[in-house]
Amino acid sequence: MKLLYLEDNPAARDYVCRGLGERGFEIHTSGDGQEGLDLLLNDRYDLCILDLGLPSLDGIEVMRRLRQARIEIPTLILSARSNIEDRVEGLNVGADDYLVKPFSFEELVARIHSLKRRTSNGEPTPESLEVSDLVMDLDRRAVTRSGQRVELTRKEYALLEYLMMNSGHTLSRKMITERIWGVEFEGYSNAINVHINHLRNKVENGHGKKLIHTVSGVGYVLEEREDEHEVDLLEMA
């Protein structure tokens, strides 16, 4: 299980990392709220442990933006704030559980397991996504088209993953921005165009069928269309 722990106190971070590492968890950390949010938006973790008092972006805000971007990663808040208001706020913005510091290590481990069981609904998480001959291996974070490796940047990968997870469904430019950049739409319109173009160059050109389609005035959809020509022929016509 791959965890992300957001905590700005080095002593607390080391203590938790060591303990969870010894119990076989793969644990990644950040001490900064904004950086942590970027990691959660662009990488795949099984669970997040979140401190509330964080520099640059408060834990509550991290949680709020994560859920706004429709990222449903199970999240446990681990905080010294013990009053009811803080707990209620944390759960209201979308956290799944709340543990107050100081805590017993065994309780933390038990809650991690329980949270994972509760949120997985017994369904195994998919290991790969496939649309036509385009395959994304989610564990290895590797993409191939017709068996040939496609090298993508982090943002391009995140964008393609989002499109593939929703293949056949149009994603609006606003949804894409919030998911990939975690911000309000203004100012990111051009960034989407640039990234979609890069993605098309890498995934489609010279590789066969066009898969990423523009939905005029709305956004984009990734799907295989029967009557679609090879991209290279289309460009020449």
Q: Is 8 in the site for Ca ion (CB under 5 A)?
A: yes
Q: Is 51 in the site for Ca ion (CB under 5 A)?
A: yes
Q: Which is nearer to Ca ion, 33 or 208 (CB)?
A: 33
Question: Which single residue brings its beta carbon nearest to Ca ion?
Answer: 53
CB of 51 to Ca ion, least distance (A): 5
53 is a contact residue toward Ca ion (CB under 5 A): yes
Is 19 a binding residue for Ca ion by CB under 5 A? The answer is no
Residue 56 interacts with Ca ion (CB under 5 A)?
no
Given the rule CB under 5 A, which of 19-27, 48-56, 169-177, 227-235 is the region that contacts Ca ion? 48-56
Where does this chain touch Ca ion (CB under 5 A) — which range of 6-14, 60-68, 174-182, 206-214? Answer: 6-14
Q: Would you count residue 86 as binding Ca ion (CB under 5 A)?
A: no
Q: Tell me the site size for Ca ion, rule CB under 5 A.
A: 3
By CB under 5 A, which span of 1-9, 58-66, 146-154, 193-201 interacts with Ca ion?
A: 1-9
Residue 21 and residue 27: Cα distance in Å, rounded?
7
**Least separation in angstroms between CB 31 and Ca ion:** 8
Stretch binding Ca ion (CB under 5 A), from 32-40, 52-60, 182-190, 208-216: 52-60
For the record, the structure tokens of 26 come out as 């793969």
| Contact set with Ca ion (CB under 5 A) | 8, 51, 53
